[in-house]
Structure formats: structure tokens, C-alpha cells
């Protein structure tokens, strides 16, 4: 299983972040319950930049400085959901 959600980039070790589920009910190896359930993304139309902003603002609400929150979201572009797509996900 992945150490990070391959959609939002949050670590599974983070308190309360559980794996999502596949359509057969088994745990997803790659995606968290906030991003994925029942074998589908909960926000299928979300673009990568929107995900980066969502996560960045989450960090800022936790008291991270803006620059640190921004830097912490740059890896999202390289996660499984966003890399190798045929259409731009920006």
C-alpha cells in the first residue's frame, strides 16, 4: 500500500486518514477515504491545481506559513492520479 494518498498526497500515518475502498469493498492501496470510495473518486471533475489549493489551505488552517504550505503541495503533480493522464489535469 502507498504511504501517501495518490490523489491528495496526505500521509496515511496522519491521524484519522483512512484508505478508501474499491468497488468490491476492499481497501484501496492508493487512495484515501476523503478522495476515493466505492472504486471512484469522490470529486471526479477536480483538477490537479484545485487539489493543490485545497490541500494548501488545509495546511494554512493548521497554522503553516503560506510559503511552506505551497511548497508542501508541489509533489501532488507527480502522484498517480495526476501523472500520465491523456488530458491536462491542471
Structural contact between residues 64 and 72, judged by C-beta atoms closer than 8 angstroms = yes
Spell out the domain ranges in the chain.
19-78
The pLDDT value given to residue 34: 94
Which helix (DSSP H) or strand (DSSP E) does residue 40 occupy? strand 40-41
The pLDDT value given to residue 85: 55
Handedness of CA 5, 73, 56, 48 (dihedral sign): negative
Structural contact between residues 17 and 11, judged by C-beta atoms closer than 8 angstroms = yes
Per-residue pLDDT of the chain (90 residues; tens, 9 = 90+): 789 999 999 988 866 789 999 999 999 999 999 999 999 999 999 999 999 999 999 999 999 999 999 998 999 999 999 996 544 444
Amino acid at each position: 500500500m502507498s504511504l501517501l494518498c495518490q490523489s491528495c498526497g496526505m500521509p496515511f500515518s496522519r491521524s484519522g486518514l483512512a484508505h478508501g475502498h474499491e468497488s468490491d469493498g476492499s481497501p484501496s492501496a492508493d487512495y484515501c477515504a476523503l478522495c476515493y470510495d466505492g472504486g471512484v473518486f469522490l470529486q471526479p471533475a477536480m483538477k490537479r491545481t484545485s487539489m493543490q489549493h485545497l490541500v494548501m489551505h488545509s495546511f494554512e488552517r493548521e497554522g503553516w506559513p503560506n510559503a511552506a504550505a505551497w511548497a508542501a503541495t508541489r509533489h501532488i503533480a507527480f502522484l498517480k492520479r495526476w501523472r500520465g493522464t491523456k488530458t491536462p489535469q491542471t
